[in-house]
Amino acid sequence: MDFMQIIEAIAFVVITLAAGLADAQGFIHAANVWSAGKFVWQEAILSAAGFGSGVLLYWVCIRFLQHFKVISPEIQTLGWFAVTMVGVAFFDGKFFQWHLIDQIIGIAVIAGVAWLMVRGGS
């Protein structure tokens, strides 16, 4: 990899993290849009903002994935999915209740998926 490819790989990882964490916020707030049978507009707006910004960032991420010849939708979504799942646990506060080994594995899964995608999964 040359210097520009390394910069693009770092940008891809950062944007994937941002997209997944934004969607995680969407999921966290979506879980709270109904309270005692009543629709909670504030939670709906926060959820929509999370999902909306998440998808915009994901579209940017796709540009980097295509640059690295990752064209399979299944592979493209792996990084987002891993980050989103860990992000939900993180933002919900449950990540910090996980055992240390589970936290390490969760972070390693995200890093591993990012590594495989950057190395040329197609």
Per residue in 59-89, pLDDT (tens digit) is 999 888 888 887 777 777 877 888 888 888 8
pLDDT above 70 covers a percentage of the chain that reads 94
- Residue 32: pLDDT above 60? yes
Under the banding of pLDDT at 50, 70 and 90, the label for residue 22 is: very high
Instruction: Give Dmax over CA atoms of the chain in angstroms.
Output: 56
Domain coordinates in residue numbering, the chain: 3-118
Q: CB of 26 within 8 A of CB of 51? A: yes
Q: For residue 1, is pLDDT > 80? A: no
Q: Which of 15-29, 53-67, 88-102 has the lowest mean pLDDT?
A: 88-102
Comparing CA positions, the residue from 17, 30, 29 lying closest to residue 84 is: 17
Beta bridge partners of 39: 34
pLDDT for 121: 54
CB atoms within 10 A of CB 45: 12
On whether the CB atoms of residues 48 and 40 are closer than 8 A, the answer is no
